[in-house]
Copies of this chain bind each other. A is one copy, B any other.
Amino acid sequence: MSSWYMKPNSEADIVTSTRIRLARNIKGIPFPSGMTDEQKKELKEKIKAVITESNTPFSKKLKYIDMANVPEIEIKAMVERHTISPEFVINPQGKAIILSEDESISIMIGEEDHIRIQVILGGLCLEEAYDIASNIDDMLHSALHFAFDSNLGYLTECPTNLGTGLRASLMLHLPALEGSGEIRSLSDTVNKIGFTVRGIYGEGSKSLASLYQVSNQVTLGLSEKNAIENLKIIATQLIEKEKALRESFEKLKLEDTVYRALGTLKYSRVLSSNEMMNLISRIKLGISMGILSTDILPMKLFVENQPYMLMKKHGEISPQERDSYRASDIREAFN
């Protein structure tokens, strides 16, 4: 199970998690979209061999999993806990993943690019996550010939990843900026300087649970170090604005909102995924504002009660049953 949502991290206050992703391709083989089944098989074997043969204490912690052998529910649950990308699951055939036990490291083979190295950690820790990703990159690089152009940098299927192949993202909890509507104008500003803010969980522009992902868009002509530093500056500004706005909350109204969420989570018998996310968002805010004191890890509850995570635990159940199991699991967690 992924550890990013299991870590009682004081920094996880507003920054829920840090994600680093590196896109790499091997020279002389077409991108996955153009590969034959045989080539896909060879690619998987090749990368598996690198990990196995490197034989370091680190590589021994990694586990190779052929996606064709993973049940559908587990695949979708992996997406829910951010272990793999949603794009990775469209067709599991010819795809494999190399995972660390705590799922903080996942190397996706056969996604849009041959290799996608992902490191995801709880809280704000861009440098730490980048160092881990970079070490894996070095390990693979020493055994494989990556497609690299001395002018462009790393070559990738999609031009938006050309150069560093780096996507650094932070997941931020921004209920105050969302509630005041400021998040929209801030998104626009951040967009103009090469970063993206988008609501995760939830369709379209409406974010659920006030969780927003901020990430770099520019991968060309900028070093990894600069991209990460700039992201950190942007995020710090958003965090400061969020904190300042939270101070203007009317205390009693905030307490009421937080405790009502707690009451509903502790007592409801039917709980949809969307409602659960929004309620837990309020609990998270309550903990962060010093209103609630609990051992509950909101993001753990949040992830573990996503639809497929619930089905992984309780078996194949209907959406109606899911809402009832969700309510009962959450009641149990709080009582």
Chain A positions near chain B (C-beta within 8 angstroms): 252-253, 255-256, 259-260, 262-270, 324, 327
Which residues on the B side are within 8 Å of A263 (C-beta)?
260, 262-268
Which residues on the B side are within 8 Å of A264 (C-beta)?
260, 263-264
| Residue of B whose beta carbon sits closest to that of A331 | B259
How far is it, in angstroms, between the C-alpha of A270 and the C-alpha of B251 when the chains are bound?
11
- Within the complex, the shortest CB–CB distance from A255 to chain B, in Å, comes to 5
Which residues on the B side are within 8 Å of A327 (C-beta)?
256
- Within the complex, the shortest CB–CB distance from A222 to chain B, in Å, comes to 48
CB-contact partner of A255 in B255, B266, B269, under 8 A: B269
Which residues on the B side are within 8 Å of A270 (C-beta)?
252-253, 256
Q: Which of A253, A256, A265, A269 has the most CB of B within 10 A?
A: A269
B267 touching A262, Cβ below 8 Å: yes
How far is it, in angstroms, between the C-alpha of A180 and the C-alpha of B281 when the chains are bound?
34
**Majority-rule SS of A interface residues:** helix
* Additional 12 contacts, C-beta under 8 A, given A260-B269, A264-B264: A252-B269, A252-B270, A255-B269, A256-B270, A259-B267, A260-B267, A262-B263, A262-B267, A263-B263, A263-B264, A263-B265, A266-B267
| Residue of B whose beta carbon sits closest to that of A259 | B267
- Within the complex, the shortest CB–CB distance from A97 to chain B, in Å, comes to 38
The 8 closest A-B pairs by CB, nearest first: A263-B267, A263-B263, A256-B269, A259-B267, A256-B270, A255-B269, A263-B264, A260-B268
| Residue of B whose beta carbon sits closest to that of A324 | B252
| Residue of B whose beta carbon sits closest to that of A270 | B256
Which residues on the B side are within 8 Å of A259 (C-beta)?
267-269
**21 A–B contacts, CB within 8 A, in A order:** A252-B269, A252-B270, A252-B324, A253-B270, A255-B269, A256-B268, A256-B269, A256-B270, A259-B267, A259-B269, A260-B267, A260-B268, A260-B269, A262-B263, A263-B263, A263-B265, A263-B266, A263-B267, A263-B268, A264-B264, A266-B267
Which residues on the B side are within 8 Å of A269 (C-beta)?
252, 255-256, 259-260
Which residues on the B side are within 8 Å of A255 (C-beta)?
269
Q: Which of A253, A255, A263, A324 has the most CB of B within 10 A?
A: A263
Which residues on the B side are within 8 Å of A253 (C-beta)?
270
How far is it, in angstroms, between the C-alpha of A269 and the C-alpha of B265 when the chains are bound?
16
How far is it, in angstroms, between the C-alpha of A259 and the C-alpha of B331 when the chains are bound?
11
| Residue of B whose beta carbon sits closest to that of A255 | B269
How far is it, in angstroms, between the C-alpha of A253 and the C-alpha of B324 when the chains are bound?
10
How far is it, in angstroms, between the C-alpha of A260 and the C-alpha of B265 when the chains are bound?
9
How far is it, in angstroms, between the C-alpha of A255 and the C-alpha of B265 when the chains are bound?
14
- Within the complex, the shortest CB–CB distance from A166 to chain B, in Å, comes to 45
| Residue of B whose beta carbon sits closest to that of A327 | B256
- Within the complex, the shortest CB–CB distance from A249 to chain B, in Å, comes to 13
How far is it, in angstroms, between the C-alpha of A268 and the C-alpha of B269 when the chains are bound?
18
- Within the complex, the shortest CB–CB distance from A203 to chain B, in Å, comes to 25
